[in-house]
Amino acid sequence: MCIELERHGAILIVTLHRPAQLNAIDASLRDALYETFCNVRDDESLQVVILRGSGKGFCAGADLTEFGEANTVLQKRRIRLQHDVWEVIRTCNKFTIAMLHGFAIGSGLELAMLCDVRIASDDAVFALPEAAIGMMPAAGGTQSLPRLTNLAHAMDLALTGRRFYAEQAWQYGIVQQIVPRDELVRTVMQYAEHVLTQSQWRTLQREIRASTD
């Protein structure tokens, strides 16, 4: 399975599980994310979703081994038309937290930016390298990034594709907390449990999201 689910009461942990590929997003993982978040949306007993990656990092971006295969290109086009996974995640009616360690590159960073907040370990590495290789961010990065940081930072990061690290991501407003790697899970779970104590989180989420549309 390319996704693992772990339930803790009203909290669901969704783990990207392609560790040998650094959790790179292929068609099967994209389909699994879409199905998972559709189920999450319809489960009234859930309130918080934590998104994380297994192994050495969160997500290294799109699986480039799929490129150049005609059947895969057509498959990707079909998936995008039928399953807008990025929009399902962005508009999820649960509070979403990205738990970030290691690489969060390309579509991996874009996926994290669709969540309500991002908490990173101090070893996290970020980049939007698409433009540097003649491509465009495909998961809404050109819209998500300027919602989180100022326009100049967004332009610089998207145009240069340069890597930046946890402290810089915090300074840019892309991540909200940085913690040591061995404290990451505990910190994120504590944050999720705090959300559950806030009776107005849904109203706050709705109003804040609406302000950026």
Catalytic (active-site) positions:
110, 130
Backbone angles phi, psi at 3, to 5 degrees: -135, 140
Residue 54 contacts residue 23 (beta carbons within 8 Å): yes
**Within 10 A of 111 (CB to CB), how many other CB atoms are there?**
28
* Nearest residue to 114 via CA among 134, 133, 137, 130: 137
Tell me how far CA of residue 16 lies from CA of 58, 156, 165, 213, in angstroms.
8, 29, 21, 28
- CA angle, corner 210, sides to 212 and 110, nearest 5? 50
Tell me how far CA of residue 51 lies from CA of 109, 119, 130, 174, 207, in angstroms.
12, 10, 23, 16, 23
